[in-house]
A and B are shown apart, each in its own frame.
Chain A
């Protein structure tokens, strides 16, 4: 791992997280040990393997007709919103 606090801050930004100073210390110390352990896999010769990101389970994908079956849960779902107005999610100014 590029052992720098800058890297941690950049990854935190990518993660949509703001870390406190205390968290930075803990997580930096943990990740400085975890990441090199994970990076051991670079030792492996994987040239014989398939790239399998699109082959999770060997299961044949199960399709269904594109028809609405259950009654819409839209109003139930909007009820869960921290703030909603007229059936829509209410958010702070974006632009």
Chain B
């Protein structure tokens, strides 16, 4: 198969072709590295990648497929603890031989994990995250670690100590964040799929800006073991992929309870054949008016046309009022910053990571290390977190936000007693221009309005690209303040009740298939 043809395959199609030996894993790995060689110097999606080792692993997989002689030791040399990818005669692993990228806040044993921070620039992960182990067990060839906003704090991947990632759809723009490296890598064909992490929208928003599918799974359905903590009550790892079926397949691989994460839980897997036969007839879909006011013209069009399409296919779509959503950004930034300020207190220059030189006593060592090791956005969140946790403000800010979060959870539970899912935009508009977000941090926070509600309430949510027709782009230029935005991807988001992955991915697949008809 030609390189061009290989790169048109989805991750699960590629896996199928590799299993049937129509394509070799080596050809697939070479194809993505050709793209990496061509685009990486401009886009900077990766912080680290390993071509030779990836090719070696791919060749081992190909050889074993050819011989049908699977053995644990051959695929995992020197790692007697790891379970083998497959025994002879057993079903082959679902992602066998597929090149996949992972965000650099997930531990991959023996590889650097920087979290986009000077603080961890030389840190080598001593073990692998549970979701990474599951990905490897599923046969994926992990080819590199992707760039991100420092410790996940940001929405543009400009807040990386190692430099910004650019949006492959328009290199004057940001790819979104914080999983911007994962999204950019998949968008330019530098990986067939990637894992990102989502605290307040960090999978969904970059997926939207890069024209991809991003799934934030139900909180707890994917183990956080080996995921660097930002806001522990909201952090979750999930897939960034080119299509909904890949997102479901990756979710099925990484989900599952884990005794190393006490908040992890057994969640139902997504049945891909049910997803394919999903029927919208009788489905009840809510659009909260608070999440569509103030968005761009591209967004209004996406929501209007998607609503129309859903109705034409048998669903009911109602505009609903959820007044608490006006406070969602405030609640999110109070709680996430409070949790971040506590979680990031571990970076003190003593046990691992950066240590400042020239400190005369231990207090000075802590302060110098943290002041030199953290970037401005991280400092902003730590300061905000310590402000809301300080004794004078604890009740009015932190406690009040906890209570408001409880009310929001109840408000969503009430909506899901009447509706199957929620439809809303993923972000207020298309990908912003580079450095635009930097100018005003408060506006950047407010732009998270559509993604933070699912985060606060532990709900699953998927962002998928709204299929825009050429004719849609023929709007008069005065319709939009930024004519170059016309051709850029717009994301729409479906939010479901806890464990509602099957429902939202079914509907997302229906929309994806119907894209040409909208």
Mark A residues whose CB is within 8 Å of B.
1, 8, 11-12, 14-20, 23, 26-27, 30-31, 33-35, 37-42, 44, 46, 48-53, 55-64, 70, 73, 76-77, 79-83, 89, 91-94
Taking CB as reference atom, which chain A residue is nearest B382? Answer: A15
Cα distance A59–B498 in the bound complex, in angstroms? 11
In contact, B367 and A77 (Cβ under 8 angstroms): no
Task: From the candidates A39, A57, A92, name the one contacting B359 in the complex (CB within 8 A).
Answer: A92
- Residue B162, interface by CB 8 Å: no
Q: How many residues of B contact A (CB 8 A)?
A: 75
Residues of B32-65 at the interface with A, using a CB-CB cut-off of 8 Å, are none
In contact, A92 and B365 (Cβ under 8 angstroms): yes
Provide the residues of chain B in CB contact with A53, threshold 8 Å.
399, 402
Cα distance A56–B261 in the bound complex, in angstroms? 13
Closest 9 CB pairs of A and B: A82-B355, A46-B403, A49-B403, A64-B259, A80-B352, A76-B126, A56-B233, A49-B406, A52-B406
> Beyond A51-B399, A82-B355, is A59–B265 a contact (Cβ under 8 Å)?
yes
Query: Which label, helix, strand, loop or mixed, suits the secondary structure of the B interface?
Result: helix
Chain B, residues 343-359, CB within 8 Å of chain A (1/0): the string is 00100111111110001
Query: Which label, helix, strand, loop or mixed, suits the secondary structure of the A interface?
Result: loop
Provide the residues of chain A in CB contact with B333, threshold 8 Å.
34, 38
In contact, B383 and A17 (Cβ under 8 angstroms): yes
In contact, A40 and B362 (Cβ under 8 angstroms): no
In contact, B360 and A23 (Cβ under 8 angstroms): no
Task: From the candidates A19, A48, A55, name the one contacting B371 in the complex (CB within 8 A).
Answer: A19
Provide the residues of chain B in CB contact with A40, threshold 8 Å.
327, 330
Task: From the candidates B263, B359, B368, B386, name the one contacting A11 in the complex (CB within 8 A).
Answer: B386
Residues of B364-386 at the interface with A, using a CB-CB cut-off of 8 Å, are 365-368, 370-371, 374, 376, 379-380, 382-386
- Total A-B Cβ pairs within 8 A: 186
Chain B, residues 105-137, CB within 8 Å of chain A (1/0): the string is 000000000000000000110110000000000
Cα distance A62–B441 in the bound complex, in angstroms? 38
In contact, B262 and A63 (Cβ under 8 angstroms): yes
Q: Which of A17, A19, A30, A70 neighbours the largest number of chain B CB atoms within 10 Å of its CB?
A: A17
In contact, A91 and B124 (Cβ under 8 angstroms): no
In contact, A81 and B351 (Cβ under 8 angstroms): yes
Given contacts A41-B331, A92-B361, 16 further A-B contacts (CB under 8 A): A1-B387, A8-B383, A12-B383, A19-B379, A30-B442, A37-B446, A41-B397, A42-B400, A46-B403, A49-B403, A55-B406, A56-B458, A57-B263, A62-B264, A81-B352, A93-B361
- Residue B206, interface by CB 8 Å: no
Taking CB as reference atom, which chain A residue is nearest B408? Answer: A49
- Residue B485, interface by CB 8 Å: no
In contact, B379 and A17 (Cβ under 8 angstroms): yes
